[in-house]
Amino acid sequence: MKFAKYWKSIETKVGADKYLIDPRTGKPLDPNSTFTVWGASNESLESAMQRAKERLIIFEKLVKSEFTDKSDYEYGFIREEVIEEISADDGSTLAVLTRNNYGAIVLNTERVMFGDVDIDEKPPGFLGRLFGRIYKDKAFYINKIEQYQKDNPKLSIIVYETFAGLRFVITNRIYSMDKLNDLTEMSQLFTALEVDPLYKHLCHQQQCFRARLTPKPWRINIERPPNRYPRSERRKINDFEKWLRNYKRESASKTAVKLLKSFGNTRPHPEVRKVLEVHDKLALNQHKELA
């Protein structure tokens, strides 16, 4: 889990003598294409610029996996605005609140296991039933989580409802992305509970668990933000702040999760309790509509 305070970018053109394939589309690049190369640092803007220059050199050497701003993640850093850091009792970083590229607040933590389960909106049609496809609704997955906890009684689990499915949290222990046993347990648990494959991939890629705390903008009938973080031009800052005011206003009547069930009687781990206090304060309101 790596977030940077400072970001700088350099724009560069492909060049007529460089016949490259855009890895995002698989199509040849226009020689006049312009790309933005980002550098990140927690030290200073100067250090971030140096990182950008280093990446520019890689671009010019035509290392395909490095030459374009095709990813949100630079040097292992997640390119999102840091809103708040939550510290553990020993002073280490327990969780970080960020604003993602479509404007929602996200909780990031290396230690508290969150898992997302997506659920099909509709039962399978005739062909789906003909080929044996089973409709798995929220009750199906809640029962699956309950049975998993019974089979693994040392674990305690809280289950929330989300707009598209379920979110669960292991409440009585913490995890480490540096420990093979923890990663193995996470993988087995995610597989058993049929966690969304994309979420599982992102946890490994980003080395942290993530939980969205505020609505997706298209679910509250507003557009995505007009630009991406970081913003340095006053016009872009003003445009984003205007968007943010509208987003907060439209979000006020919505909730990201609703509490459904808890399984297991083990007391919550103190660090999990601290993270869930933040999570529930921003994401949970039983009386509002899910978004």
Same domain, 90 and 203: yes
pLDDT digit string (tens) for 120-139?
767 666 565 566 567 789 99
Read off the pTM: 0.78
Same domain, 146 and 262: yes
Same domain, 150 and 285: yes
Distance, C-alpha 118 to centroid of its chain = 15
Same domain, 71 and 193: no
Domain range for residue 20? 6-78
**Is the model's pLDDT at 31 over the cut of 80?**
no
Tell which of 78, 103, 120 closes a domain.
78
Tell which of 78, 99, 124 closes a domain.
78
C-alpha 291/C-alpha 218 separation (Å) is: 9
Q: Which residues, 6 or more positions from 164, have their beta carbon under 8 angstroms from its beta carbon?
A: 118, 119
pLDDT digit string (tens) for 52-63?
887 777 665 543
Give the HSE-up count for residue 84: Cα atoms under 13 Å, Cβ half-sphere: 10
C-alpha 276/C-alpha 29 separation (Å) is: 46
Residue 180 inside a domain? The answer is yes
Residue 157 inside a domain? The answer is yes
Same domain, 121 and 175: yes
Q: Quick one: CA torsion of 137, 140, 154, 284, rounded to 10 degrees?
A: 30
What mean pLDDT is predicted for residues 39-49?
Answer: 84
Going by C-alpha positions, the residue among 9, 6, 1 that lies closest to residue 77 is 1
pLDDT at position 109, please? 97
Going by C-alpha positions, the residue among 125, 171, 141, 126 that lies closest to residue 263 is 171
pLDDT at position 64, please? 44
Same domain, 119 and 42: no
- When divided into structural domains, the chain yields a total of 2
Residue 182 inside a domain? The answer is yes
Taking only Cα atoms into account, the Rg of the chain, rounded to an integer number of angstroms, comes to 21
Same domain, 16 and 129: no
